[in-house]
Amino acid sequence: MMAVDPVAGELIPVLEDQERLLVLPRFTHEDAWHLGSLLRELALEREAPVAIDIRRGGQQLFHCALPGSSPDNDAWIDRKRRVVERYGESSYLVGTRFRAKGTTFEDSSRLDPDTYAAHGGAFPVAVEGAGVIGTVVVSGLPQAEDHALVVEALERLLATQRPASPGRGAGVLPLP
């Protein structure tokens, strides 16, 4: 067992707030394409060697592999996506909760690490009135950066679906 990570404990409410705020009014095939294209554009601007995957239910709606990514990124996508599907929360939040308790997902979840990875980059696609209906995953950067890229793209998608109203903040809480 490792030492309790106090930074992880401080990060948990930020990650929970992101999930609470990033609930979409809808998520169509067109929305998936828009989100995936936005992620691709952001990654290209940053020369990020990532793979991107978006699913609704069991159906893959978008997949893209950018220069510098590899088949290993697709394996990471599958493992991180399974964490979101099992827990209904972002892979980064799930892993952070384990670290805050002084352990790791791999040591304490009792799940096969070849099948599940609680590393940042997989985020639940949640729709108002329906709950979690899919996943959006990025793999190729350090886990906090994978997660932040997904959050940024979801914020932008949400802004197109529901423009900010007076008194409402423009963005979600940033990562510390």
Q: Mean pLDDT per 10-residue run, the chain (176 residues)?
A: 75 96 97 98 98 96 98 98 98 96 94 96 97 98 97 97 58 49
Looking at residue 4, its pLDDT comes to 67
Q: Which domain holds residue 65?
A: 6-160
Query: Does 154 map to a domain?
Result: yes
CATH of the domain at 44: 3.30.450.150
Structure tokens at 80: 């991180």
Reduced 3-state DSSP string for the chain: CCCCCHHHHHHHHHHHHHHHHCEECCCCHHHHHHHHHHHHHHHHHCCCCCEEEEEECCEEEEEEECCCCCHHHHHHHHHHHHHHHHHCCCHHHHHHHHHHCCCCHHHHCCCCCCCCCCCCCEEEEEECCCEEEEEEEEECCCHHHHHHHHHHHHHHHHHHHCCCCCCCCCCCCCCC
Would you say residue 62 lies in a domain?
yes
Q: Is residue 144 part of a domain?
A: yes
Give the number of domains in the chain. 1
By DSSP bridging, strand 23-24 and strand 51-56 are unpaired
Tell which residue, 122, 131, 116, has the closest CA to residue 54.
122
Considering the domain boundaries, does residue 22 fall inside one?
Answer: yes
Q: Look at residue 8 in the predicted model and tell me its pLDDT.
A: 84
pLDDT given at position 169: 46
Angle between helices 6-21 and 91-100 (to 10 degrees): 150
Domain assignment present for 1: no
> What gap in Å lies between CA 125 and CA 130, rounded to an integer?
10
Domain-located, residue 151: yes
Give a yes or no: residue 172 inside a domain.
no
Place of tokens 């529901």: 162
Residue 162, CA distances (Å) to 1, 21, 156, 159, 175 in order: 44, 12, 10, 5, 22
- What pairs with residue 138 in β-bridges? 52
| The pLDDT of residue 164 | 58
Within a domain: residue 176? no
